[in-house]
Amino acid sequence: MVWRRRDGEHPGRRMTPAEKARRLGEACRAVEQLARARIRAQYGDIPETEMKLRLAALRLPRALMVRVFGWDPDIHGY
């Protein structure tokens, strides 16, 4: 199901590509802020480096996290 306005038009149809990119960026930043809040609630005040590792572990496969960063989400958490 695709969300449509009352006039039947899809809301993204009239946006320019730049506006769509801006809105997508805003949505991505909002998702990251929510993830940061959840991590802070669970782990408290942690260094930014650790925060970035935990954020990356939410998006990247475990094997890649271990190989590239030496961070095992199964051991350290997300």
Give the global pTM: 0.74
For residue 12, pLDDT over 90 is answered with no
9: left (phi over 0), alpha (psi -120 to 50) or beta: beta
Reading the block at residue 44, the tokens are 């408290």
pLDDT of residue 8: 65
**Res. 3 pLDDT band, cuts 50 70 90:** low
Digit-coded pLDDT (tens) for 22-63: 999 999 999 999 999 999 999 999 999 999 999 999 999 999
CA–CA gap between residue 3 and residue 7 (Å, rounded) = 11
pLDDT of residue 77: 83
